[in-house]
Amino acid sequence: MQDIGNILDNRVLLVALVACVIAQLLKLIIEVIQNRKLSVQVLVTTGGMPSSHSALVTALATGVGQTVGWSSSEFAVATVFAIIVMYDAAGVRQAAGKQARILNQMIDELFNEHPEFNQDRLKELLGHTPFEVIAGFALGITISCLARYAY
């Protein structure tokens, strides 16, 4: 049980999680403003503005740099991890989303000719635009810096 208490005392981890939660809440607010309706599903789906993955890993890397030092190995590992996650969010998952969109169009056309086939659609919104990743990046740094000055 003491280990769980130690985890909850980890300020860097808590700030990173707070950045992620704030990003998810911002997605909900942006969804309400854009579509004039409350869609709680936004909180558990991938993609959207801002990238909560980017906010999480950027706040984590920034917190590690603030706590352990900017020249530490720990900061280097956290930064490389953050770069990989953000590249994946904007690159690989975005490309997979585009492929899903094309495959869904093909499925739609196929079902017009053969309606007896199963019509399962692929999820199209998997990744983020570069702007959404940059917004998450900026949010993560901001939250970590604000938390640093709050303590």
**pLDDT per position as a tens digit, 7-44:** 888 999 999 999 999 999 998 898 888 888 887 777 77
Give me the number of domains the chain comprises.
1
Using a cut of 0.85, tell me whether the model's pTM lies above it: no
pLDDT for position 7: 83
Of residues 150 and 76, the one with the higher pLDDT is 76
Please state, in angstroms and rounded to a whole number, the distance separating the CA atoms of residues 74 and 20. 21
Domain limits at 58? 2-150
Instruction: Say if CB 93 and CB 46 are below 8 A apart.
Output: yes
What would the pLDDT profile of 88-112 be if each residue is shown by its tens digit?
887 766 666 677 777 777 777 766 6
Instruction: Say if CB 58 and CB 137 are below 8 A apart.
Output: yes
pLDDT band at 48 (very low <50, low <70, confident <90, very high): confident
Smallest CA-to-CA distance from 47 within 116, 105, 123 is with: 123
Smallest CA-to-CA distance from 53 within 27, 22, 77, 85 is with: 85
Please state, in angstroms and rounded to a whole number, the distance separating the CA atoms of residues 146 and 137. 14
Instruction: Say if CB 59 and CB 144 are below 8 A apart.
Output: yes
